[in-house]
């Protein structure tokens, strides 16, 4: 049996731990996650609760929290909270999936929306600054692949190459130079998509780009077309040619695979989407008219 001194020491240590963790909280979702973890007695898993507060619908978290707090004779309220949250998420997923079942989803690889290649900066820079393949190989094969799936920040990745690449400014200047070319948008596709009934057809743009290039391209596209969303690899955490990317898209959009009509100029991506049961179209061999025809025929 623990002595009074032991109990006091445990209480003081817990108080100290709470104050230390609270010191690093600066945003609302962090504070919300902290308060949930504190009341459930699970501060050892604080980072997980902060992530839940950032990513999950607040209404579901509130319901799961109330359920766990009011659960009689609970010795592990955190475990009950997680169980209830998963149950609520599944119910929400099935409800929204049923609601979305009539939608027709058109997913277009971002490269199909431009008339010129949009990922040729490295080659252009290499030619202009007379760099050898060995000068850029590490960035192309090691750093940038991590940037496009959100595992590394492009600015930090570029910083170590500036000197060897003969760049006179900093990484901010290099990124501005990278995005200095105005993309040549494919207005033929944009015009055809723009005429669709958006109550029935939902348009999403997919792409394999880092955070900064994705933001730049999204701004260029939304001046001409207002898609229902962007499915960028840096947010999803996987390249679009991977099966896990497609599975995460299906889960995020809460739709069935048979609802997706995917168009891209890249054969590698098409084969993976087709493998899971999506309708696929290789642009420009198969154009937007064929998608519209097939989507319409399945209404």
* Token digits of residue 143: 């750093």
For residues 170 and 52, membership in a common domain is answered with: no
Residue ending a domain, choose from 178, 200, 222: 178
For residues 31 and 108, membership in a common domain is answered with: no
| CATH (domain of 278) | 3.40.50.1000
For residues 135 and 196, membership in a common domain is answered with: no
Tell me 117's DSSP state: -
Range of the domain at 249: 102-116+184-297
**Structural domain count of the chain:** 3
For the segment 80-98, what is each residue's pLDDT rounded down to a tens digit?
999 999 999 989 888 888 8
pLDDT of amino acid 142: 93
pTM above 0.85, yes or no: no
Return averaged pLDDT per consecutive 10 residues of the chain, 299 residues in all: 51 52 70 91 89 89 94 91 94 84 89 76 85 91 93 92 91 88 83 82 92 90 91 92 91 88 85 91 81 62
Within 8 A by CB and 6+ apart from 150, the residues are 211, 233, 234, 235, 237
**Cα distance between residue 110 and residue 89, in whole Å:** 31
For residues 253 and 169, membership in a common domain is answered with: no
For residues 156 and 269, membership in a common domain is answered with: no
For the segment 111-131, what is each residue's pLDDT rounded down to a tens digit?
889 877 666 788 888 888 899
- Nearest to 122, CA basis, from 50, 66, 177, 65: 177
Residue ending a domain, choose from 133, 150, 178: 178
268-293 exposure pattern, b = at least 16 Cβ within 10 A, e = fewer: ebbebbeeeebbbbebeeebbeebbe
Within 8 A by CB and 6+ apart from 255, the residues are 97, 100, 101, 103, 105
For residues 162 and 252, membership in a common domain is answered with: no
For residues 10 and 43, membership in a common domain is answered with: yes
Dihedral pair phi/psi, residue 244, rounded to 5°: -65, -30
The end-to-end CA distance of the chain, in Å, is: 70
For residues 40 and 172, membership in a common domain is answered with: no
For residues 32 and 93, membership in a common domain is answered with: yes
For residues 75 and 158, membership in a common domain is answered with: no
pLDDT of amino acid 227: 93
For residues 160 and 193, membership in a common domain is answered with: no
For residues 196 and 292, membership in a common domain is answered with: yes
pLDDT of amino acid 11: 47
């Amino acid at each position: 049996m623990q002595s009074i001194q032991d109990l006091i020491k445990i209480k003081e240590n817990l108080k100290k731990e709470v104050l230390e963790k609270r010191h690093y909280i600066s945003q609302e979702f962090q504070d919300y996650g902290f308060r949930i973890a504190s009341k459930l007695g699970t501060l050892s898993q604080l980072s997980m609760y902060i992530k839940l507060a950032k990513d999950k619908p607040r209404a579901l978290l509130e319901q799961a929290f109330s359920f766990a707090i009011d659960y009689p004779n609970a010795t592990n309220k955190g475990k009950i909270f997680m169980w209830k949250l998963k149950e609520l998420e599944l119910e929400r997923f099935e409800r929204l999936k049923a609601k979305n079942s009539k939608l027709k989803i058109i997913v277009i690889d971002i490269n199909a929306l431009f008339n010129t290649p949009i990922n040729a900066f490295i080659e252009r820079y290499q030619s202009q600054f007379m760099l050898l393949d060995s000068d850029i190989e590490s960035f192309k094969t090691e750093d940038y692949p991590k940037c496009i799936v959100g595992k590394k920040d492009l600015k930090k990745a570029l910083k170590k190459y500036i000197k060897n690449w003969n760049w006179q400014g900093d990484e901010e200047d290099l990124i501005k130079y990278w995005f200095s070319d105005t993309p040549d948008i494919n207005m033929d596709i944009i015009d055809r998509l723009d005429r669709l009934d958006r109550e029935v057809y939902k348009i999403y743009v997919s792409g394999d780009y880092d955070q900064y290039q994705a933001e730049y391209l999204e701004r260029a596209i939304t001046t001409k077309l207002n898609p229902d969303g962007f499915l960028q690899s840096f947010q999803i955490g996987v390249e679009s040619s991977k099966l896990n990317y497609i599975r995460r898209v299906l889960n995020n959009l809460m739709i069935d695979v048979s609802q997706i009509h995917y168009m891209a100029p890249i054969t590698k991506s098409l084969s993976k989407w087709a493998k899971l049961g999506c309708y696929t179209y290789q642009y420009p061999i198969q154009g937007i008219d064929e998608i519209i025809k097939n989507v319409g025929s399945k209404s």
